[in-house]
Structure 1
Amino acid sequence: MLEARQTGILRWSTDSVPAGQRFDYFQQTLESAVIPMWVSSDQRESFRNDVAMAMLGPLAALRLSGSPHASHRGLREIERSLERSFHLIINLTSPWMLEHAGRNRMLPGDAILTDSSFGHMLRTDSDYDIVHLKLPDGWLRQWVPSPGAIVGRRIPVASGWGRALATYAMQLTPQFAVESPLPSQVLTDHLGALLALATHEATGAVPQPDVAEKGLRDRTREVLRQRCTEFALTATDVAKVLGISVRTLHRNLGLFGESFGAMLMAARVEVALRMLESPIHRRLTVAEIGRRSGFPDPSHFSRVIHARVGRTPNQIRNGDKTESPPARAEGEEH
């Protein structure tokens, strides 16, 4: 049955029901967590599936894994849908097939966007592990005003912006959604910008950065250096300072293969390293330096510094230049 933990992650598993009920249970799970659809499979007796979901701002981040099956969505299922939504789907481990505004044979890591207003048939012929992001209609249109340009089109993991989009989207698991040190808006804004750039690429209209774009990128970096110590700093705050829209900010950074979240983290690390290495700040505890650098959580501060420079904050402060083993990355189990 449904398991809701204090972590904010909702979990459904066919292991929690008798074998004879697992198939129907999974179909009900898809309707509750995703959208109405019906399921078919040649492995009904050994059928198993697990679903996890967490909210990421207005988006829903899902992770689905289990047995081969096909999911179908026709007129009856469309009529039962409460609202229109879009779905970014990536199978991490196996090839799969989707009929939706065309027929696509998908490879592991490829991404595709679907529209709940249309039917589909999705088939996995082997065990699968899918990252699925459910996107509200209104949210997506802020970034991609005409989603039809990209709906049902395979976004190859090997393509330029397709690679950036897929690599980023793969990280947006339910676990990451509840554990990320960054505000959800920072994460979802960057996803929107990458979707916009992937759409431009798919339609043959890839923008190229010019001198003005480079200047805007540099001004963004400077504002972040000045304000990175603010715990709740968002792209909206920075965009207001620059006199541009959030959408323009993210698109600009995307042109250079950068993201707001990564640039913000780099600025905070730069501040922290200066303070850790400065004799002037010896009177401050490591935790206080973390807070003054924009890291309210001491353990997260230590992990980030270690991941960036191979040493813990205490090692840096004590002048120990020996690199210690890499810390376990957040969400590494995914």
Structure 2
Amino acid sequence: MRALFDTDRLAPDERWDAWYELTRGVVMPTVLSCDREDEFRASAHAVALGPAHVTAMTYTSQRSVRTPAMIRRSDPELYVVALMRRGRHDMAQAGREARLRVHDMAVQSSSRPFDTRVTAHRGLAATVAAHVPRALLPVPEHTVERLLAQRLPGHEGIGALLARFLVGLATDPRPCRPSDAERLGTVLVDLVGAWLAHHAEAEAAVAPESRQRVLFLRVQAFIRRHLGDPELSAGTIAAAHHISVRYLHRLFQQHQLTVHGWMRRQRLEGCRRDLADPVLGAAPVNEIARRWGFTDASVFSRAFRAAYGVSPTGYRRSAGSVREPQISVPPSGSSRSSSVT
């Protein structure tokens, strides 16, 4: 995410006007207001994903109104998918009203007037929003209209998948290459389209290739959640998603991957992270391996060495996460000998 704005870099009397201008350019023109401009605080980060973009914002309580006159003057024809991460979001559009709390999601249209109020909790509210051109989505406009300003869950099903994707973009500090941004933009459009179609019960409107990409993401998310289960297999994964094992293998082959190979790589990456974590420096290597689904210590050791060119113990030592034994010295005059703790 590229940092766009931070009130801490500005004088207090400049912050509100600067924020007002930023939101008009990055999001869309609205009428903004807040209770205390002299106490206003905010930050904004954004990442461009082809024609779509994602913004992560924090701010004190404020109100945003988009009027018919503003729409006539300038309409980017966007759908905005908002995820509430902290605070409360009250919105009204298309004759409906919704109140969003943490983990709730909603969709708004830039082509319809709206009135939103965000109430901060413990200082700042926090949101992540995806801005997707309406023309890119396979779901008909009249179908999406029925979903405007409705509270939709972001903690279950495809909503949770979309929410995790948005939060991942908002919290990943690594730069995004242009080619990766285009691919992530395609994934974002697919996820938003499938999410909207799901809630509108219009899955048939989503192109087969989009449904396949979303299914692949669902399968990957399922595998990550169950990596610690040594019984996890292609059969159990396929059954959980109501598809055949053959179709599951075909999904991975389309990405030049195998189910077993990708699953093992995720397990090894989990072990590698834990071995480098100083907090887990005292945990036995075999215990870490079992935590990630490896039941045979020798199989794990060989797989780790093949992947990273070093043994698990050697990697932990080079990462500096081993907790060295400490010598406990008894008080002067004590008859007890020194012991290793």
Partner of 2:162: 165
Query: Rg bigger for which structure?
Result: 2
The answer to whether the Cα contact below 8 Å between 1:94 and 1:107 also exists between their aligned partners in 2 is: yes
Q: Report the 3-state secondary structure (helix = DSSP H, G, I; strand = E; otherwise coil) of the residue aligned with 1:45.
A: helix
* C-alpha spacing 1:105/1:322, structure 2 compared with 1 (3 Å): farther
Partner of 1:249: 212
TM-score by length of 1: 0.62
In 2: Cα distance, 1:106 partner to 1:47 partner = 22
The answer to whether the Cα contact below 8 Å between 2:28 and 2:76 also exists between their aligned partners in 1 is: no
Matched, 1:118 2:115: no
Deviations 1:118-157 (A, max 9, x none): 1111212212111111111222x2x323332433222112
The answer to whether the Cα contact below 8 Å between 1:98 and 1:123 also exists between their aligned partners in 2 is: yes
Deviations 1:28-64 (A, max 9, x none): 1100111001111112221111112221122112111
- What is the root-mean-square deviation in Å for CA atoms of aligned residues? 3.9
In 1: Cα distance, 2:69 partner to 2:173 partner = 34
Matched, 1:270 2:265: no
Residues 149-298 of structure 1: matches in 2 within 5 Å? 149-173=146-170, 175=172, 178-179=175-176, 183-204=180-201, 246-253=209-216, 256=219, 264=255, 267=258, 270=261
Shift of 1:245: 5.8
In 2: Cα distance, 1:35 partner to 1:149 partner = 22
In 1: Cα distance, 2:57 partner to 2:119 partner = 15
Structure 2 residues not aligned, in runs of 5+: 223-250, 277-303, 320-341
Matched, 1:52 2:49: no
Structure 1 residues not aligned, in runs of 5+: 1-7, 208-243, 275-302, 328-334
In 2: Cα distance, 1:272 partner to 1:94 partner = 37
Deviations 1:192-233 (A, max 9, x none): 3332332233234568xxxxxxxxxxxxxxxxxxxxxxxxxx
The answer to whether the Cα contact below 8 Å between 2:75 and 2:110 also exists between their aligned partners in 1 is: no
The answer to whether the Cα contact below 8 Å between 1:63 and 1:129 also exists between their aligned partners in 2 is: yes
Q: Which letter does structure 2 place at the counterpart of 1:270? A: G
TM-score by length of 2: 0.61
* C-alpha spacing 1:324/1:57, structure 2 compared with 1 (3 Å): farther
In 2: Cα distance, 1:181 partner to 1:148 partner = 32
In 1: Cα distance, 2:260 partner to 2:271 partner = 8
Partner of 1:23: 16
Partner of 1:65: 58
The answer to whether the Cα contact below 8 Å between 1:111 and 1:157 also exists between their aligned partners in 2 is: yes
Percent identity, aligned pairs only?
A: 17
Matched, 1:144 2:157: no
Q: Which letter does structure 1 place at the counterpart of 2:39? A: S
Matched, 1:317 2:280: no
Deviations 1:207-262 (A, max 9, x none): 8xxxxxxxxxxxxxxxxxxxxxxxxxxxxxxxxxxxx963243244367576989x
Matched, 1:133 2:130: yes
The answer to whether the Cα contact below 8 Å between 2:155 and 2:163 also exists between their aligned partners in 1 is: no
Number of equivalent positions:
252
Shift of 1:172: 2.2
Which of these residues, 26, 40, 54, is aligned with residue 33 of structure 1? Answer: 26
Shift of 1:309: 5.0
Q: Which letter does structure 2 place at the counterpart of 1:136? A: P
Shift of 1:182: 7.7
Shift of 1:71: 1.1
In 2: Cα distance, 1:59 partner to 1:272 partner = 30
Q: Which letter does structure 2 place at the counterpart of 1:250? A: R
Partner of 2:6: 13
* C-alpha spacing 1:254/1:306, structure 2 compared with 1 (3 Å): closer
In 2: Cα distance, 1:32 partner to 1:69 partner = 18
Shift of 1:18: 2.9
The answer to whether the Cα contact below 8 Å between 1:197 and 1:254 also exists between their aligned partners in 2 is: no
Shift of 1:77: 2.3
